[in-house]
Structure formats: C-alpha cells, structure tokens
Homo-oligomer: A and B are copies of this chain.
Amino acid sequence: MSKGDLTRQRIVAAAAPIFNRNGFEGASIQALMEATGLGKGGIYRHFDSKEELASEAFRYALALSVKTRTGDLAHIEGAIAKLEYIVARFVKAPSPMPGGCPLMNTAIDSDDGNPILRALARDGIADWRLRLSKIVQAGIRTGEIRKGIQPRQIANTMIATLEGALMISRLEGTKKPLHDARASLDTLFATLRS
C-alpha cells in the first residue's frame, strides 16, 4: 500500500463515525478536519468530493458492521440454529460504529436526498437479505425447514425487526427492545420447522 493509499484509508476510517452520526449534510468540514487531523486541502487531495468521501466512509462502516454481525457461521449446525445465532449476535453487538447501524442511518438520511448513498444502502440491504435467504433455502433443501416457507419473507422480517428494535433501543437507552425482538424472532423460527 502506498503512502497515499494509507492516508486515504486513515481519512475514511476517521470520517466514517462522523457521517454515521450526523448524516451527509450534517457532517461538517470542521468535524471532518478535527477527526482526521488534516486541513480541508489535505482531505480533498485524496477525494474528488464530499460525496466520494461519504461513499467510501459508508462502505467502510458497512463492512465493519457485516463482519461484526455475521461472524463465523461454519461451526453452527443447522439452518435455524444459524438464524438464531445471527440474531443473538446482532442483539449483543448491533453496530461497531458510533451512531448506530450505518444501513438504517443512511437509508433514513438519504431517503429524500443523496441518490448515490441511497443506492449503497439499497445494495447493503439486498446483500444482507440474500445472505439470510440462502440460509433459509439451505434449511428447506435439507428438510429442516418446511416447504412453502418463503426465504425472502423470513429474511425481510429479520432485518426489519432487528433494525427497528435497534432504533427503539438507541432512542430509549435500553437493550430491552432488542431482547424482545430476539424472543419474538426465536418464536417465529420455531414455526419454520418441518
């Protein structure tokens, strides 16, 4: 990695929490300068625009979240046990990034705004849904999960419930909504068995 690439990486890592907490418009150049320890020129020597920096920051934050949330599933036997593990892990560590889940923040922030960030959030949700759907599909193939269960429905419900519970948890400063979501999802998973 060249020195320029290293600096670029360092700027992205420092900028990610700023964008995650404050949104695209709300991330001030002042806050970005303080977080990176660089001047405006120093930052924008490495990025064409605020949009490019925000996009890289989102990709970085999302990759960190996915890594934290997904973990290693190889040692878990069975589709339903995998789904339960994913939910338990999310409840334990919903986001490694200050400011909450970058997917939800960017989805809400870009809702009526920035189309590039919106597309990145859309891709993030689609990837997550695909990973979860594949686990359900595998469970149907092995006969653990009933035929007729729609993998997409289960995946969408998991994402919606976890993200919604995280929103309430952060608002109220308690993990109760996340624990409640986990209990309800575990009940739902029990209904999937053949």
Residues of A within 8 A of B (CB): 21-23, 25-26, 99-100, 104-105, 107-109, 111-113, 118, 121-122, 125, 150, 152-154, 156-157, 159-165, 167-168, 170-172, 176-177, 180-181, 183-184, 187-188, 191
Contacts and interface: CB of A to CB of B under 8 A. Distances in A.
A156 B181 contact: yes
Given A100-B111, A111-B99, A187-B191, A161 B167 contact: no
Contact of A188 (B23, B152, B188): B188
Quick one: which of A111, A118, A160 has the most chain B CB within 10 A? A160
Quick one: which of A112, A125, A172 has the most chain B CB within 10 A? A112
Nearest to A23: B23
B112 A171 contact: no
24 contacts: A21-B112, A22-B112, A25-B26, A99-B111, A100-B108, A105-B108, A105-B111, A107-B167, A108-B167, A125-B171, A152-B176, A153-B184, A156-B168, A156-B177, A156-B181, A157-B180, A159-B164, A160-B164, A160-B180, A160-B181, A161-B161, A162-B164, A187-B191, A191-B191
